[in-house]
Structure 1
Amino acid sequence: MLILFAPAWHAAGARSNAALAAPLPDQVPPGVVLRVGEPVARWVFQHNGWDKQLPFRIEWAEITGGPEVTEAFHAGALDVGAGASMPPIHAVWTGIPVRIIAFREYADRARRNAYVFGIAPNANIRTLADLRGKRIAFSPSQVQAQIVLETLKAVGIPRSAVTLVELPSSIGGDVYANALASGAIDAAPIRADLVAQRYIRDYGPDGAHLLKHPPFRDDGASLYVPETVLANPGKAAALRLFTQYWGRAQAWINTHPEELAQGYFVGKRGLPLADARLMAAYTANLSVPRRWDEAIAYEQSAIDTLAPETRHPRFNAATLFDRRFEGLAADGAALIPGNPS
């Protein structure tokens, strides 16, 4: 008689798929710990005492940005990461199945971009059409890569007509800003918050300037979790609660920008008050959508844009989202009186 044994990874995958298809558990057993990389949320939770109200413990990690989160997931050191459009996609492409459990966007995204192009002094770039033949910073695991490729497509510049310089972006934007200032690159997508303001403040007198990219979305951000974490019933039940509190935190930020500026950006980050208020203004006005249809379309655009460039397979963005969590963050946001989004 022939007996066939399934490989261990296949059996584990089958158990994970079964767990993800089941309703979310609602009972958190004793001893559950969630390891979360979300510095701003950490301050909001602790400032309001919410972490003490939860029936599980949060171990906060100072881990932000796609590359760091992916590395932490690989090492099994993190349960929840935060990132823009590309990090969850890149995690899948590097062999870590993840699911998005919460999503946020600018409430006024029709009038506001999260990124602009920083232009180096003496780069001779006055319009986006002048990017032809130039050196552009490119980080394939981050949203900046999507911004570069969609901009080139929008202005009709083929990929072969530019030099993409692979350079991971730091959260503070110093890597790109320094590369621009030194002349190592000609253009780079940088955050349209304090990063852009500092760049112009420091290098504007030398000829540095900013250009807006064409009108496409660049503002989405999410919480994402390895499927192996979601397959753990205790952690899944804890994530159900955490997601609601995370949505509540986004709404609290919207209604308390001055408190965030002074408490977090001045008190924790050490920024001057004027810079702190600028950062708080960009961190506020966040919307937590109740439905994810537009979020899925946003992620699909990122997949379709980056897959050919990075030689990774295209896949259905809907498989990135754990729709059992859909609406939970919005439920939390609704608990904050006066939340405009």
Structure 2
Amino acid sequence: MDIAAGGETGVLFAMANRSEIKVLAATRESRLGGSAILVRKGSPIRDLAQLKGKTIALPYYTHQHYQLAVALKRAGLSWHDVKVVNLDTAAGSAALNGKHADAFVVWDPNTAIAQTQQHARVLKPLKPVIDPPGMLYAPSAALDDPSKKAALRDLTRRVIRANAWVNKHPEEWAKSISRLSGIPLAAARLQVSRSRSMYEPVDKPTVAAWQKEVDYFKDLGQIPSAPVVKDSVQWDFAPVVEKAAAASDAGQGGR
């Protein structure tokens, strides 16, 4: 694997476990998104305080892992006031529907599928709680190779252009998601309607947000030590990202 994009939490956990990773760009969601705490249709749970003593299904080491931890704290609950079960998205959905979990923490398209197919209810959207940017990242070894680094620069530009196309063609993108992922078109349309992500250069405030997150998990005792995030940023990609993002916004190619 030479490049990937996704939530920052898993990457931060990997850094804490000494994986050699470099962050090329940040990704930011400008709309509400589908990150949420879900409960079953008809559930009596109406606020986060009512989760005390309840079982929550959560895929660990995800963006939502951090969002849930902060949401619980703001509701006056600790991580130990609830029973958090580490389940992947399919198992978490089954646990919620089968009444083996009282809540399910997840993201789109899984949230949209649960809402449109199982009529799950959003107890709490998580973007307003806390929402550090995601990451476009690569193994350090790939960036140590001059030819691969040049290819990664080019691919970063292409990723940003493709993302700009997605933002400008929501219906076509929803149909593509439905076709390629095999999910109902209604769920894909719901996902697209509340998402508009953007790539941007990594800057000091973004690094500070990531550092705050990894320090938080260290304080929770979920990682042994907190890495220095700024040391894992490929700072010379910032001009590449900035130029490509500006060109894409202007409808140009961005070389």
Runs of 4+ in 1 over 4 A off after TM superposition: none
d(CA) in 2 for partners of 1:272 and 1:162?
33
Q: How many residues align?
A: 249
1:118 corresponds to: 38
| Number of the residue aligned with 2:188 | 276
Matched with 2:48 is 128
* Equivalent position amino acid for 2:10 in 1: P
Which of 93, 104, 114 is the matching residue for 1:199? 114
Give 1:105 deviation, angstroms: 0.8
- 2:174 is aligned to 261
Residue 175 (str. 1) matches residue 87 (str. 2): no
Residue matched to 2:64: 144
Find the partner of 1:249 among 157, 162, 169: 162
The match for 1:99 is 22
Give the structure 2 partner of residue 70 of structure 1: none
Question: Counterparts of 1:329 and 1:293 in 2: how far apart (Å)?
Answer: 15
Displacement of 1:107 in angstroms is 2.6
TM-score where L is the length of structure 2: 0.86
Does 2:82 match 1:156? no
Cα RMSD, aligned residues only: 2.4
Distance 1:203 1:258, change over 3 A: closer
Match of 2:205 in 1: 294
Asked whether the equivalents of residues 120 and 185 of structure 1 are also in contact (C-alpha less than 8 Å), the reply is: no
SS at match of 2:138: strand
Q: C-alpha separation between the residues in 1 aligned to 2:83 and 2:185?
A: 39
Larger radius of gyration: 1
Post-superposition shift, 1:302?
2.1
CA distance in structure 2 between the aligned counterparts of 1:252 and 1:201, rounded to whole angstroms? 26
Whichever residue aligns with residue 190 of structure 2, its letter is L
Q: How has the CA–CA distance of structure 1 residues 194 and 225 changed in structure 2, closer, same or farther, with 3 Å as cutoff? A: closer
Counterpart residue identity of residue 214, structure 2: I
Unaligned runs of 5+ in 2: none
- What residue in structure 2 maps to residue 81 of structure 1? 4
More moved, 181-190 vs 138-147:
138-147
* Aligned mate of 1:184, from 100, 110, 134: 100
Q: Name the amino acid aligned to 1:104.
A: T
Q: 3-state DSSP class of the match of 1:165?
A: strand
| Alpha carbons 2:207, 2:229 under 8 Å: kept | yes
Change in CA separation of 1:260 and 1:294 when aligned onto 2, cut-off 3 Å: same
Unaligned runs of 5+ in 1: 1-77
Following superposition, the deviation at residue 194 of structure 1 comes to 4.1
Q: Which has the higher contact order (CA 8 A, sep 6+)?
A: 2
- Cα distance in 2 for partners of 1:114, 1:301 equals 23
Query: Offset at 1:119?
Result: 1.3
* TM-score of the superposed pair, with normalisation by structure 1: 0.66
SS of equivalent residue, structure 1 residue 126: coil
Q: Percent identity?
A: 26
